[in-house]
Amino acid sequence: PPYEVLPAEVSMEEMPRSTTVTLEEPPRPPPPRDHLVWSLFTTLYGNFCCLGLLAFVFSVKSRDRKVLGDYSGALSYGSTAKCLNITALVINIVIVIIVIIIVALVTAGVFRYPPPPYVENPFFGPT
């Protein structure tokens, strides 16, 4: 703001000596996500090639880093856990689709045993 010139009749000795400064802290970014619950469910229900277990380990490391205040480390571990969870989820969905297709084909009778070969019986003629 522009400064105003003090009138000549006011001296500096009469002015109060305290100064108040207000500081506004910038808003803190939200802490990074650790995806711990997602990793737990991936570990329990879709642990293909131990991807769920690895995701759970990285989620715990991310939570530890977040508690210590290392947000960049927590972000790195959290994003690794997220990638592992997504990979395990995609692989599990593909496996479920393949199993459903195989079960549907078996019930439809596509995979049948071949018919027995035609054998001519010498006593009774062709069978």
Taking only the tens place, the pLDDT of each residue in 2-43 is 777 767 777 767 666 666 777 788 888 888 999 999 999 999
Residue 82 lies in a domain: yes
What are the tens digits of pLDDT across the range 58-80? 999 999 999 998 999 999 999 99
Look over the chain and give the mean of its residue pLDDT values, rounded to a whole number: 85
pLDDT at 4: 74
pLDDT for 9 equals 75
- Write out pLDDT tens, residues 76-91: 999 999 999 999 999 9
Q: Residue 81's domain spans which residues? A: 75-113
Q: Are 25 and 15 in contact (CB under 8 A)?
A: no
42 in a structural domain: no
Answer whether residue 19 is part of any domain. Answer: no
Q: Strand, helix or coil at 125?
A: strand
Q: Is residue 101 part of a domain?
A: yes
- Decide if pLDDT at 109 tops 70: yes
- The encoded tokens of residue 99 equal 């199993």
Residue 56 counted as domain residue: no
Supply the pLDDT for residue 78. Answer: 96
Q: Is residue 59 part of a domain?
A: no
pLDDT at 124 over 70: no
User: Total structural domains in the chain?
Assistant: 1
What is the pLDDT averaged over residues 110-121? 69
Measure the CA–CA gap between 72 and 33, rounded to whole angstroms. 11
Query: Residue 106: inside a domain, yes or no?
Result: yes
Position 117 pLDDT exceeds 60: yes
- The 10 Å Cβ neighbour count of residue 41 is 15
- Mean pLDDT over residues 46-69, rounded? 93
